[in-house]
Structure 1
């Protein structure tokens, strides 16, 4: 199968990447991804180990590249694929079963580049929001997102579809203790800014010229007190009084944009 004359083979990792590890608990069960962007990005990711692809012939034709001749594909009808995914999930004729991505330690993601913020999520549990934040993180060049292992959704199809390929591009660090992770970021030279609606300073006023960690709280509850105490500053987005707050994924996108447009000299 080829598309638009391209002959590049889509790749799946045959074994785990050595050194792939994390400070949180590894999820060992298989992951199912669906939708063209999520599946295509996973197939192009050399760190991803695949098991099997279920697809319609029309779905295969939408992929940008070639599958190797021995790739484990099972052709199926649209209604059959619907039984493999979440209810009413837009699978676009493609469902990939694969292994979770290798874990990553926090120190592997702390590159210290001022132009590449880190996004820290404090108990953000909605997979749609986490996926959307991954997408924004990829769009604005974030070096990683960091979550606490016990209070974040597992890697899966809803996140993959919402992330539109960014799940394969942005390192996702799962940690056991978020407060300790914030201390490690401070030791690495990051200025930790917690987004809070009650803060006096705006994000633009709080942003430094150096490396930044943007810390966002859970939907509704916001930052936990202890996490806020581990931030160097609290800042708010200057939204209209007509709205009490923004969805966490919208807030993350705006904060990442503001960070990307600041002066670094």
Structure 2
């Protein structure tokens, strides 16, 4: 026995420390794992098993009276609980009906597109001044109806009654959709879009009758002569002043230019047909209705328009220039200062040419211009906060207004 015990003792110590650790771990896990198994005498029995009763019958006996009590009218002798439950049910049903009714108002999200498809020759002019000016403009052709919310301003209502135009009371949401969420002042006019005439060139100016000749392009490419009156101003404006817009794509800029041009005394506007914003209701709203009051033409061939107007009518084209005007060869001897424009319309008919803010006027049009002008930049002299100026140009509408004002200023 002693020999055997020593042998076992030696074998035990012959085992490495890692094996001993594994042996201890195995023994510990085995003991801890067994303790989670409940013994047979400590198993928790269910209550129906303790009573030797069926599970279904036990639940029925213990809880069936609860449901029966809810159905028992004796528990609610005055019917208050039932009335409260019925009221909550009615409120919930009413909320669902209100939600469905609200969704039904806006079931057609593309109402503008649907209306435009139904009426492809109509547009919606909005805003108090724009609507009133559109009613005064015979170039609109016809007006279908006036849509409004609330009340119609008196001057518009009087004009509607004279022209016998249909009115329709609508909600604000429909006006928002029709105007693409513009500032509509609760009124919109369904009318025919403006269709400017195609101009070929500008003709002679009759100072005595205060009128100029405009040659429009006919269907057979024939030049049709029309007389256009202009506004004269003693001492500073004996001849007409026109404005040419070259590739201005922002309708808000065009609207602001038209508004300034009408206010300061420009007689007509010519726009390049390509790459220029169309005369949309946004332009009319931005111009505060001036779009309806100023003659506007399209030029499909601007190079011919420049050349023929200079040769046939003696018109002078002054082009606004971005950057240093002395860097271009074709500007040599043609550069004017802002003050050199004073009294220009007292001596000759003038067309002021302006372009977009990024590229300015196209090179081929600048090469056919008579003079060039640039508004000097004075910001770098007073605010040297950075090596390169952050604001180095004016908005095209502001620059146009400044140039127009200088042209119409007396010497």
| TM-score, normalising length: structure 1 | 0.80
Q: Of 244, 254, 261, which residue of structure 1 is paired with 2:402? A: 254
Match of 2:127 among 24, 35, 55: 35
Q: Within 2, Cα distance between the matches of 1:109 and 1:132?
A: 27
In the TM superposition, 1:196-235 aligns within 5 A as: 196-197=321-322, 198-199=324-325, 200-206=335-341, 208=344, 209-235=347-373
- Distance in 2 (alpha carbons) for counterparts of 1:85 and 1:206: 40
CA distance in 1, matches of 2:308, 2:338: 22
Q: Single out whichever of 156-165 and 197-206 deviates more from structure 2.
A: 197-206
Q: TM-score, normalised by structure 2?
A: 0.53
Counterpart CA distance in 1 for 2:399 and 2:149 is 37
Post-superposition offset of 1:125: 0.9
Q: Which has the higher helix share?
A: 2
Is 1:79 the counterpart of 2:173? The answer is yes
1:91 aligns with 2:223: no
Superposition pairs of residues 117-132 of structure 1, within 5 angstroms? 117-132=241-256
Residue 148 of structure 1: how far off its partner (Å)? 1.2
Moved more, 103-112 or 118-127: 103-112
Where does residue 193 of structure 1 map in the other structure?
318
Q: Which runs of 5+ in 1 are unaligned?
A: 1-27
Match of 1:6 in 2: none
Q: Which whole-Å CA distance do the structure 2 matches of 1:120 and 1:132 have between them?
A: 14
Aligned partners of 2:321 and 2:374 also within 8 Å: yes
Map of 1:67 onto structure 2: 160
How many matched pairs? 235
Distance apart, 1:67 and its partner CA: 1.7
Quote the residue 1:164 is aligned against: 288
Per the alignment, in what secondary structure is the counterpart of residue 252 of structure 2? helix
CA–CA distance in 2 between the matches of 1:166 and 1:205? Answer: 28
RMSD between aligned residues: 2.3
Task: Please list the CA deviations of residues 34-83 of structure 1 after superposition, one character each: whole Å capped at 9, or x if unmatched.
Answer: 10010010112233221221112324447373422731211112222111
1:184 shift after superposition: 2.8
Secondary structure in structure 2 of the residue aligned to 1:150 = coil
Match for residue 47 of structure 1?
A: 139
Structure 2 CA distance for aligned equivalents of residues 244 and 31 of structure 1: 38
Report if the CA contact (8 A) 1:104-1:171 is conserved: no
**Distance (Å, rounded) in 2 between the aligned partners of 1:154 and 1:64:** 29
The 8 Å contact of residues 122 and 216 in structure 1, kept in 2 or not, is answered as yes
Q: Work out the CA distance in 1 between the residues paired with 2:369 and 2:264.
A: 22
Residues 110 and 234 from structure 1, CA distance in 2 versus in 1: closer, same or farther, beyond 3 angstroms?
Answer: farther
Structure 2 residue runs without a partner (length 5+): 1-119, 200-213, 215-225, 233-237, 326-334, 381-390
What is aligned with 2:117? none
Match of 1:4 in 2: none
Q: Max radius of gyration: which structure?
A: 2
Moved more, 42-51 or 248-257: 42-51
Q: What do the CA deviations read for 1:96-125 (whole angstroms, capped 9, x no partner)?
A: 121123433432477687443111011011
